[in-house]
């Protein structure tokens, strides 16, 4: 654990919490700010909506691959240089998105944007470098609570920018924010990792140590499946909002932010109570809240009583549940083998986003002309239930090991 004093804009001391929040935030902003523009982008590129919707699934898939690679690299050479390089590549990919002449080229650059995953992964790993397990869960909660402001207002801003200036305005926003965060990282992010000194081959050979741990799998799947409901929402909600409930892009951006409002609240609860209640119980109740929100929305949809307010309103429960489950399950996964914190952060994040990519693509695929919100809600409920099962597996395992 690092004990160096934290001074703002000093490259030789650990990063200020505001820098960690910005790093986590640029990843979230890159994921969702442009989503209200998807129907209009399909028209602009003369492409099918399902093709443009892949901009979410492909981004998540590449994001997952990046996270597998970046953990061992950062454990070897440090967090700081990997983050700086990742942001520079993100800026170049963002310019490519803006200048793309076709949907296919746009998707290629969109995939390249996923390199910004280094900011999310390594901001969390930096927290684990500095704090023990329960305190790390609390600090990750505060970091992601601040980060939650970004997806809370991101779609609303994206929808307004789209209406005023067109879809490219969202990517110019990402480019500008990326430049600002690059400067913050360069001047404030002092190295937090105790570099392993091992070769990359040796680093990757340590993956089996994590993969053989039932607790690591349980925490990672609890995080991945709980957030899977949200990623399915990312893939299907633009269609539901525009085609089923008739929202325009500005309205969609406003309603779309509903889970982020809940996520902010859930992260506050994590920051405030994780040390007192313990990470396992926080994950358990977070997964339950997630599932209850989706189940209530699905019941109304089956009864034909759903509307735009019930659909998006109950998504705040998904946000609250994720805000409780994700920081705590992440801290749990990183604490199974503390000496592999960067590797664990990358692998756990990759599992989460790999599931997210699949669920996002599947949600977009099942929704078509004449669809209701029911198929999307069924996908979300199944993943929520599996998330509950995963954390129960962890609790059972720890009882067997006498850790409780």
**Is there a domain that residue 220 lies in?**
yes
Average pLDDT value for the chain: 82
pLDDT digits 0-9 by tens, 108-145? 999 999 998 888 878 877 776 776 655 666 676 666 66
Average pLDDT for 188-198: 71
Contact by Cβ (8 Å): 126, 14 = yes
**Residue 137, domain member (yes or no):** yes
Round to whole Å and give the CA distance between 261 and 60: 22
- Please answer whether residues 126 and 190 qualify as being in contact, where contact means their C-beta atoms are separated by less than 8 angstroms: no
Residue 143: which domain range? Answer: 17-192+204-398
Highest mean pLDDT among 15-19, 142-146, 149-153, 251-255: 251-255
Angstrom distances, CA of residue 226 to CA of 39, 107, 322, 329: 27, 27, 6, 10
Summarize pLDDT for 239-287 with one digit per residue, the tens: 888 888 888 877 887 888 788 788 888 888 887 887 888 888 999 999 9
Q: Which pLDDT band, with edges at 50, 70 and 90, does 5 fall under?
A: very low
261 within a domain of the structure (yes/no): yes
pLDDT at 299 over 50: yes
Flag whether 180 is in a domain: yes
Report, as an integer, the average pLDDT of 199-227. Answer: 80
The values of phi and psi at residue 194, to 5°, are -90, 100
Neighbours of 86 (CB within 10 A): 27
- Give 3's pLDDT tier (boundaries 50, 70, 90): very low
Residue 189 has pLDDT above 70, yes or no: yes
Asked if residue 232 has pLDDT above 70, the reply is yes
Cα 90 to the center of its chain, rounded Å:
16
278: left (phi over 0), alpha (psi -120 to 50) or beta: left
Across 152-166, 214-228, 304-318, 356-370, the highest mean pLDDT is recorded for 304-318
Given a contact cutoff of 8 angstroms between Cβ atoms, the answer to whether 75 and 343 are in contact is yes
For residue 379, pLDDT beyond 80: yes
Maximum average pLDDT range among 53-62, 104-113, 152-161 = 104-113
pLDDT at 295: 96
Residue 377 confidence class, pLDDT cut points 50, 70, 90: very high
Share of the chain above pLDDT 90, in %: 25
**pLDDT score of 191:** 78
What gap in Å lies between CA 238 and CA 218, rounded to an integer?
Answer: 31
**Where residue 293 sits, what CATH number does that domain have?**
1.20.1250.20
pLDDT band at 342 (very low <50, low <70, confident <90, very high): low
**What's the pLDDT score for residue 141?**
65
pLDDT in tens, 314-333: 999 999 999 899 888 888 88
pLDDT value at 1 more than 50: no
CA atoms of 168 and 88, how far apart (whole Å): 19
Highest mean pLDDT pick, 81-90, 261-270, 339-348: 81-90
pLDDT score, position 243:
84
**CA nearest neighbour of 296 among 279, 320, 280, 273:** 320
What average pLDDT does this structure show over 328-352?
Answer: 76
Q: What angle do CA 22, 11, 124 make, to 5 degrees?
A: 40
Residue 275 lies inside a defined structural domain of this protein: yes
Give the C-alpha distances (Å, rounded to integers) separating 133 from 15, 71, 332, 336. 19, 18, 7, 9
Give me the number of domains the chain comprises.
1
d(CA 284, CA 393): 11
Q: Note the maximum CA span of the chain.
A: 60
Q: Is residue 4 part of a domain?
A: no
- Whole-number CA gyration radius for the chain: 20
Higher pLDDT pick, 318 / 61: 318
The dihedral built from the CA positions of residue 216, 15, 81 and 110, taken in this order, carries a sign that is: positive
Other beta carbons within 10 Å of 243? 16
- Give the whole-angstrom CA distance, residue 225 versus residue 244: 26
Task: Evaluate whether residue 96 is within a structural domain.
Answer: yes
The confidence score (pLDDT) of residue 25 equals 81
């Amino acid at each position: 654990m690092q004990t160096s004093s934290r001074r703002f804009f000093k490259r030789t001391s650990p990063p200020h919490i505001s820098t960690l929040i910005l790093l986590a935030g640029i990843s979230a902003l890159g994921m969702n700010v442009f989503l209200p523009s998807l129907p209009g982008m399909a028209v602009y590129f003369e492409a099918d909506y399902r093709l443009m919707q892949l901009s979410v699934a492909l981004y998540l898939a590449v994001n997952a691959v990046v996270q597998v690679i970046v953990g061992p690299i950062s454990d070897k050479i440090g967090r700081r240089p990997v983050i700086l390089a990742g942001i520079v590549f993100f800026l170049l990919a963002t310019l490519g998105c803006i200048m793309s002449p076709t949907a296919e080229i746009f998707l290629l650059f969109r995939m390249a944007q996923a390199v910004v995953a280094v900011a999310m992964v390594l901001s969390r790993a930096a927290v684990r470098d500095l704090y023990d397990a329960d305190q790390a869960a609390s600090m990750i909660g505060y970091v992601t609570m601040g980060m939650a402001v970004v997806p809370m207002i991101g779609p609303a801003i994206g929808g307004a920018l789209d209406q005023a200036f067109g879809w490219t305005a969202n990517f110019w926003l990402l480019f500008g924010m990326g430049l600002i965060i690059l400067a913050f990282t360069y001047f404030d992010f002092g190295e937090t990792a105790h570099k392993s000194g091992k070769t990359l081959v040796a680093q990757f050979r340590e993956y089996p140590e994590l993969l053989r741990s039932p607790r690591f799998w349980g925490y990672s799947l609890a995080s991945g499946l709980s957030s899977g409901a949200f990623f399915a929402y990312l893939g299907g909600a633009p269609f539901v909002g525009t085609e089923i409930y008739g929202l325009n892009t500005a309205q969609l951006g406003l309603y779309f932010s509903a889970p982020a409002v809940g996520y902010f609240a859930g992260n506050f609860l994590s920051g405030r109570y994780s040390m007192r209640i313990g990470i396992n119980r926080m994950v358990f109740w977070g997964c339950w809240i997630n599932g209850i929100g989706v189940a209530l929305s699905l019941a109304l949809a089956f009864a034909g009583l759903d509307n735009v307010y019930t659909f998006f309103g109950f998504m705040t429960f998904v946000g609250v549940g994720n805000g409780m489950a994700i920081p705590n399950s992440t801290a749990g996964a990183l604490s199974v083998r503390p000496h592999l914190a960067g590797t664990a952060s990358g692998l756990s994040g990759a599992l989460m986003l790999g599931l997210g990519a699949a669920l996002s693509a599947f949600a977009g695929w099942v929704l078509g002309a004449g669809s209701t919100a029911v198929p999307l809600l069924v996908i979300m409920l199944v993943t929520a239930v599996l998330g509950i099962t995963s954390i129960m597996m962890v609790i059972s395992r720890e009882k067997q090991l006498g850790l409780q």
